[in-house]
Amino acid sequence: MKFSIGGPLKLAFRPWVEGLENIPAEGPAILASNHLSFSDSFFLPAVLDRKVTFIAKAEYFTTPGIKGRMTAAFFKGVGQLPVDRSGARGAGEAAIKSGIDVIERGELFGIYPEGTRSPDGRLYRGKPGGLARVALATGAPVIPVAMIDTEKIQPPGKVMPKLMRPGIRIGKPLDFSRYSGMEHDRFVLRAVTDEVIYEIMKLSGQEYVDMYATAAKRQIADAAKAERQAQKEAEQAQKEADRQAQKELEARQALEKERSGS
């Protein structure tokens, strides 16, 4: 990945990086990042000397056909681990186990506390569970990471990426050893998650929204659906008004013709 993708990626986009010294040269660590773009999982590993393993939805690995096999090979090649998201609890447990396995191998584990990409560039509430439980179960340090402007490279609906310099800001490691053995306490999980999100917010400068990104996406989708429906109804009303106006015009013309004939 670093040679076939990482090299050209750095050459073309020239991402700037701050805080590389906060990544340990060896040993396990959790990289907790905001999530602005599909490309986040490529830009971050590209600028690091060490391998970073992220989790990815299982559909990327199981799609049939030639394209599906190529996609699966690509994600395996860049170190992505498949996680079945068909069941919320099962998906969470699978993600936690995958993260613990990566940490126990002494590697870097990448995770997005928001759980999904931001729909509008703002920073959303972190989901308690995956990040906090892996951190508390393993004792690995959590390193906050802020991706900057990656969402501007290829906005939704755009096929060709825009050549511009994204940024990556890496914060100092966070130690949560004070919560050791409390990985099943939901209040502790929330506290750990919120602390990490706060550090990401300071690094990224993003506006914080105290709701889950998944809920925000639903709201945006519902609002867009309502707007389309309202527009459709307005167009239908306009067509009906135009038809009624045409009928009235034709009626007047017929009346005038009848009067002129008499």
Q: What is the strand order of the sheet 108-111 is part of? A: 16-18, 167-170, 142-148, 29-33, 108-111, 52-53
Rounded distance between C-alpha atoms, residue 190 and residue 197, angstroms = 10
Res 91: pLDDT: 55
Q: For residue 117, is it left (φ>0), alpha (ψ between -120 and 50) or beta? A: beta
**Share of residues in the chain with pLDDT > 70 (%):** 89
Among candidate residues 30, 28, 49, 31, the one with its CA nearest the CA of residue 40: 31
Per-residue pLDDT at 222 exceeds 60 = yes
pLDDT in tens, 5-33: 778 888 899 999 999 999 999 999 999 99
Rounded distance between C-alpha atoms, residue 43 and residue 117, angstroms = 15
Torsion, Cα of 189, 120, 205, 99 (10° steps): 40
**Is there a contact between 149 and 164 (Cβ–Cβ < 8 Å)?**
yes
Rounded distance between C-alpha atoms, residue 232 and residue 174, angstroms = 52
pLDDT in tens, 236-256: 989 988 899 888 888 888 888
pLDDT in tens, 171-217: 999 999 999 889 889 999 999 999 999 999 999 999 999 999 999 98
**Is there a contact between 196 and 32 (Cβ–Cβ < 8 Å)?**
yes
Segments in the chain forming alpha helices (H): 7-13, 40-47, 59-62, 65-77, 88-104, 130-138, 186-204, 213-261
Rounded distance between C-alpha atoms, residue 239 and residue 247, angstroms = 12
* Amino acid at site 97: K
